[in-house]
């Protein structure tokens, strides 16, 4: 039902001309690939590393309208995102669910102000609202957020938004693309664009597993490479002015006892006007985020010490148990692909941008996870024009995304043992091996399961067991298995917080 990577690769190599080629396997790219494939276009997606290795596995895991954009007066963007939130809750209930948030208030007028703001947020969601917001007294606030600072607390405001597992949604999107006859390939890096008569006609790519070079021809090519957007734009037009201003955001992962196992907190006004979330996720709490402009881009950006201190400092003010560096289970960083407009990244609009170059390369960037489907629809509409295709109807608005948990490998004899300390079983690993195209141990630890994010240090131990399972399935030699374990341990060190600085 779901072909292996080598079967997908074989099919890709034997196809002479694609309707649409998408570069980049994050939320933006996979959203485009599913939209194009479901309209009936022959579609190829190429991802340089693993699906979600970029920003799309390092988000706050919220499917939301964006309360802070409401504060900035960007009502249109909030409404668009709330509409997409409603669709995702319906189309992917196996991965996206409702989550209750509380804004703790320490001044009576904050309670009034945020309460009115949330009523506006409710109204903007119209019929797609999850549940109405409401004012909370002191006791209800504490019972929802047992870990919140009690001194001076006047109560709070409760509202609802969506939450998900970002890397799992990507796999679901890739599987749904395959079921619509599209081909998503991970570990296939685009190294050049081909042109004929001044038009983009395809891409040159290198399989990162085998080193084999491929040339794929397409009627239209879409650049969906997030923070790496300018690298592809420069392959197209070496003199093109850069449009990307990446902004780094980090998260600290803490034990749920610091806040709550069920309810999220939103702190709307930090010293520098940011919003901070504390979000329960797979039994832990994610605390984030920051917004630090970065001039260089990397697939594995590192959290800065000052970003870690900033989050710990704010958690210290709002949590009654003050977290220390030694309490951080994992830290992860991602790059927001923002389009340059202003040096203050906070002032840059988070809406998406579509650009078509002289050669017909379609670039789409910006936006957010929540709006990936709308971005897909807009970019494919534009690609149709560029390629001269007759307009076909977008089908993704009400399309159910594939639920991979329904897949079973009947031949597997693996016992369904839980992995110590993590919400995964050996059967989950087996299913991922069979149907989710992991290539390395890291893919399994960081994105098929979320062990790396949930507890970096403990994940090293679990990785030994998972490496055994992968080695058996993929016929790794002992040497290969050892290299995978060592490379994973090296990555883990980037997700661990130095205890004292």
Q: Write the CA distances from 55 to 61, 290, 292, integer angstroms.
A: 11, 14, 14
Give 191-254 as a DSSP string.
EEEEEETTEEEEEEEEETTT--EEEEEEEEEEE--GGGHHHHHHHH-TTPPP-EEEEEEEEEEE
Decide: 195 and 358 in contact? Cβ < 8 Å: no
Give CA angle at 172 (166, 176), nearest 5°.
145
Minimum Å distance from CB 371 to ligand FAD? 7
Minimum Å distance from CB 389 to ligand FAD? 23
Using the minimum distance from each CB to ligand FAD, give the nearer residue, 29 or 115: 29
CA 381 – CA 238 distance, rounded (Å): 27
Using the minimum distance from each CB to ligand FAD, give the nearer residue, 59 or 455: 59
Strand partners, 148: 319
Using the minimum distance from each CB to ligand FAD, give the nearer residue, 145 or 311: 311
Token pair in block for residue 131:
């549940």
Using the minimum distance from each CB to ligand FAD, give the nearer residue, 12 or 485: 12
Minimum Å distance from CB 337 to ligand FAD? 5
Minimum Å distance from CB 291 to ligand FAD? 8
CA 203 – CA 22 distance, rounded (Å): 10
Using the minimum distance from each CB to ligand FAD, give the nearer residue, 58 or 114: 58
**CB crowding 233-271: b at 16 or more within 10 Å, else e:** bebbeeebeebbbbbbbbbbbbbbebbbeebbbbbbeee
Using the minimum distance from each CB to ligand FAD, give the nearer residue, 182 or 249: 249
Minimum Å distance from CB 269 to ligand FAD? 19
Q: Which of 367, 318, 280, 319 lies closest to 98, judged by CA? A: 280
Minimum Å distance from CB 213 to ligand FAD? 13
Report the phi/psi class of residue 475: left, alpha or beta, with left for phi > 0 and alpha for psi in -120 to 50: left
Residues 6+ apart with CB under 8 A from 450: 165, 167, 282
Token pair in block for residue 282:
């797979």
Using the minimum distance from each CB to ligand FAD, give the nearer residue, 221 or 456: 221
Task: Name the site residues for ligand FAD (rule: CB under 6 A).
Answer: 23-29, 46-49, 53-56, 58-62, 189-190, 224-228, 249, 289, 299, 334-337, 367-370
Using the minimum distance from each CB to ligand FAD, give the nearer residue, 69 or 435: 69
Minimum Å distance from CB 11 to ligand FAD? 18
330-339 and 244-255: which strand pairing?
Answer: antiparallel
Minimum Å distance from CB 479 to ligand FAD? 27
Q: Which helix or strand (DSSP H or E) is residue 103 part of?
A: strand 97-105
Q: Locate tokens 């799309």: which residue?
A: 56
Minimum Å distance from CB 475 to ligand FAD? 27
Using the minimum distance from each CB to ligand FAD, give the nearer residue, 219 or 251: 251
- Residue 303 φ then ψ, to 5°: -65, 135
Instruction: Tell me, rounded to whole angstroms, the distance of Cα 140 from its chain centroid.
Output: 32
Collapse the DSSP code of 335 into the 3-class scheme (helix H, G, I; strand E, B; otherwise coil) and give the result.
strand
Q: Which of 227, 293, 205 lies closest to 26, judged by CA? A: 227
Using the minimum distance from each CB to ligand FAD, give the nearer residue, 157 or 227: 227
CA 122 – CA 137 distance, rounded (Å): 20
Minimum Å distance from CB 52 to ligand FAD? 6
Minimum Å distance from CB 425 to ligand FAD? 27
Using the minimum distance from each CB to ligand FAD, give the nearer residue, 115 or 228: 228
Residues 6+ apart with CB under 8 A from 180: 34, 37, 38
- Residue 268 φ then ψ, to 5°: -80, -25
Using the minimum distance from each CB to ligand FAD, give the nearer residue, 122 or 161: 161
Helix ranges (H only) for 237-371 are: 305-318
Minimum Å distance from CB 50 to ligand FAD? 8
């Amino acid at each position: 039902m779901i072909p292996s990577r080598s079967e997908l690769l074989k099919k890709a190599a034997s196809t002479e001309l694609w309707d649409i080629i998408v570069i980049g396997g994050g939320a933006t790219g996979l959203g485009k690939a599913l939209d194009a494939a479901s309209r009936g276009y022959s579609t190829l997606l190429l991802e340089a590393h693993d699906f979600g290795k970029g920003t799309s596995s390092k988000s706050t895991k919220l499917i939301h309208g964006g309360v802070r954009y409401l504060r900035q007066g960007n009502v249109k963007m909030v409404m668009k995102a709330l509409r997409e939130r409603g669709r995702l809750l319906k189309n992917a209930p196996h991965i996206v669910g409702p989550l209750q948030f509380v804004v703790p208030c320490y001044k009576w007028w904050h309670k009034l102000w945020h309460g009115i703001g949330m009523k506006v947020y409710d109204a903007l969601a119209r019929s797609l609202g999850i549940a109405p917001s409401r004012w909370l007294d002191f006791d209800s606030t504490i019972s929802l957020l047992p870990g919140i600072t009690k001194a001076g607390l006047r109560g709070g405001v409760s509202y609802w938004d969506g939450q998900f597992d970002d890397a799992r949604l990507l796999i679901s999107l890739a599987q749904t693309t395959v079921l619509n006859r599209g081909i998503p390939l991970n570990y296939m890096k685009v190294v050049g664009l081909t042109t004929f008569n001044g038009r983009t006609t395809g891409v040159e790519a290198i399989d990162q597993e085998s080193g084999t070079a491929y040339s794929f021809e397409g009627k239209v090519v879409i650049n969906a490479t997030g923070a790496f957007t300018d690298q592809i734009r420069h392959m197209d037009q070496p003199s093109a002015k850069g449009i990307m201003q990446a902004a780094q955001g980090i998260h600290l992962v803490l034990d749920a006892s610091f806040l709550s196992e069920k309810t999220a907190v939103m702190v709307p006004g930090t010293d520098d006007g940011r919003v901070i979330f504390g979000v329960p996720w797979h039994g832990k709490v994610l605390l984030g985020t920051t917004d630090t402009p970065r001039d260089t881009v990397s697939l594995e950006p590192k959290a800065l010490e000052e970003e870690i201190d900033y989050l710990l400092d704010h958690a210290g003010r709002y949590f009654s148990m003050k977290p220390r560096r030694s309490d951080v289970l994992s830290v992860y960083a991602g790059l927001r692909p923002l389009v340059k407009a202003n040096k203050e990244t906070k002032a840059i609009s988070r809406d998406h941008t579509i650009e078509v170059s002289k050669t017909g390369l379609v670039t789409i960037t910006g936006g957010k996870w929540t709006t990936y489907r709308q971005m897909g629809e807009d970019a494919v509409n534009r690609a149709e024009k560029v390629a001269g295709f007759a307009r076909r109807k977008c089908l993704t608005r009400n399309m159910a995304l594939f639920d991979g948990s329904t897949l079973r490998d009947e031949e597997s004899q693996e016992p369904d043992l839980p992995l110590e300390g993590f919400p995964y079983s050996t059967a989950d690993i087996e299913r991922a091996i069979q149907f989710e195209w992991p290539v390395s141990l890291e893919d399994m630890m960081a994105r098929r399961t979320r062990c790396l994010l949930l507890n970096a240090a403990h994940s090293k131990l679990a990785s030994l067991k998972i490496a055994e399972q992968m080695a058996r399935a993929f016929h790794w030699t002992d040497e290969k298995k050892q290299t995978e374990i060592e490379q994973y341990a090296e990555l883990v060190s980037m997700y661990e917080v130095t205890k004292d600085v």
